[in-house]
Chains A and B, each alone.
Chain A
Amino acid sequence: VIASLCASVVTALARLVTGVRGEWRGCEPAPATRVYFANHNSHLDFVLIWSVLPRALRQATRPVAGADYWLQGPLRRLFGKRVFNAVLIDRTAVTQDVHPVALMAKALDEGASLILFPEGTRNLTEARLLPFKSGLYHLAKSRTDVELVPVWIENLNRVMPKGEIVPIPLLCTVTFGAAMQVAAGEDKGAFLERARTALLALAPERRDSK
């Protein structure tokens, strides 16, 4: 109860600061098992996705996050495990018995949807999107019935860039694209490129690319 209350408070706060608006461009909010894959600029990216999901979907949607960050200190541990119910991935020591893809597949089998950041790390560069890691491909291969939905988060990196302590209350948008799956015979490189292009297509054009 306290965890779900905390979650409501956090999403309400996120909505207040960012005025976030969800735009379902390619699909509808439906209770299908999905992997939402999004661009990654901030540790709180998934909170924004959460904020625009209907409550019932939110409770069944778990972020995939780095254990090294979310297990540091009691407060982060509490939020990471209890409030956000994150699937925590150890990015430093990948052994065969706790392989990240296996952990994610297990969560999907339990009926959860996932929020995944295929860039693997926060993008702190000027580029709009980093190359994707292969996790998304392996996950999609092992659970072919799952819908992969690209999700573009716009502006959160401007609300609170790395190293800043004061958030600027700019308006954020979360845009959901059309669900996709691995095509028959599609290899890793082709699939990841297709997924990355689908995600980039949701990003609004940038005027300042001069």
Chain B
Amino acid sequence: MTATEQSLLLFGGVLAVLVVASLIGFLLARRYASSAPNPAIDNLNSRIKAWWLMVVLIGLAFAVGKAGVIVLFALASLAALREFITLTPTRRGDHAALAVSFFVVLPLQYYLIWIEWYGLYSIFIPVYAFLLLPIVVALRGDTKDFMGRVAEIQWGLMICVFCLSHVPALITLPIPGFQGRNLLLIAFLVLVVQSSDVLQYVWGKLLGRHQIAPQLSPSKTVEGTVGGIACATLLGAALWWITPFAAWQAGLIALAINLMGFCGGLVMSAIKRDRGVKDWGWMIEGHGGVLDRLDSVIFAAPIFFHITRYWWTP
């Protein structure tokens, strides 16, 4: 099977799942239309609608190829960073550092991925931006809460730009015998981690009894987490044919990125709790903000990237 055939098959499968999900949502809404408004069903349906949008966007990006994927994730980084900084208390003295983050660091990071300069894009933000930001803030002379302000901007860049940029960076990995198929690695990562989110939600709704992290995320349950991660791990193993991995390897890697994704959700919840908000933003109807949807991918992407790079590239 060629890479294109595999992509088409994969998207066909995803679309079929979405059609079934939409049908279930429609039937549920019709069945309970007469009774009192049901927020759970409304939420389910707006989630499904947002899913359609996301699949269409990723599909279009794949059709364009490397440029499409890089632009899509650069825009996702931009949306994520603005949500992050919006909820971060900054001062007027941070303005230059923020401008540099948004308009220099972010585009440059994605440009470095475009020219496939691994040696620089893998350290650009953790080293160069890390050192540059406190310099820019210091030059403005506002010392109040200096450490905290600088650290929060750095953290925002690491999470929203650096970590997320490892998704399109998968294109640049030279895997012997897998040339021209790297987009499928992105499909594997996004599909496994996002389905883990969905399956955790579904398992939690069906069987959830015991809270797993009541202080962080009251809606997460032990049953939902275990069931969701187990199913998504099996899904990952079943998708081995689109990857350079054997089935058992694909399963193990899926387990690793699902665990990272779950922990990413917890970390980002902790920040939201501290800021006193439920969602990062309001860009995607039914999902809150971009960060609410991408938190798991953000934590999984660099690990997936480096596992693949370490063991599968020469």
Contact = CB atoms under 8 A, between A and B. Distances in A.
Given A205-B276, A207-B89, A168 B102 contact: yes
B104 to A, nearest CB: 11
A21 B283 CA distance: 10
Contact of B281 (A158, A166, A171, A205): A171
A208 B89 contact: yes
Contacts, number: 39
A161 B275 contact: no
B33 interface: no
Interface in A10-32: 19, 21
Contacts of A166: 95, 99, 103
Contacts of B63: none
B292 interface: no
Interface in A141-177: 155, 158, 161, 164, 166, 168-171
B219 interface: no
B275 A168 contact: no
Contacts of B89: 206-208
Contact of A168 (B98, B276, B281, B282): B98
A89 B223 CA distance: 64
B257 interface: no
B85 A170 contact: yes
User: How many residues of A sit at the interface, in one of the four size bands?
Assistant: 10 to 19
Contact of B86 (A164, A170, A210): A170
Interface string B239-271: 000000000000000000000000000000000
Given A19-B281, A19-B283, A171 B82 contact: yes
Interface residue SS majority, chain B: helix
A53 B108 CA distance: 37
A171 B99 contact: no
A210 B89 CA distance: 11
Contacts of B102: 168-169
B308 interface: no
B82 A158 contact: no
A171 B95 contact: no
B140 to A, nearest CB: 11
B197 interface: no
Interface string B126-159: 0000000000000000000100000000000000
Interface of B: 78, 82-83, 85-86, 89-90, 92, 95, 98-99, 102-103, 145, 274-276, 281-283
Given A161-B95, A166-B103, A206-B89, 14 more contacts: A19-B82, A19-B281, A19-B283, A21-B282, A155-B86, A158-B90, A166-B95, A168-B98, A169-B82, A169-B102, A171-B82, A171-B83, A207-B89, A207-B276
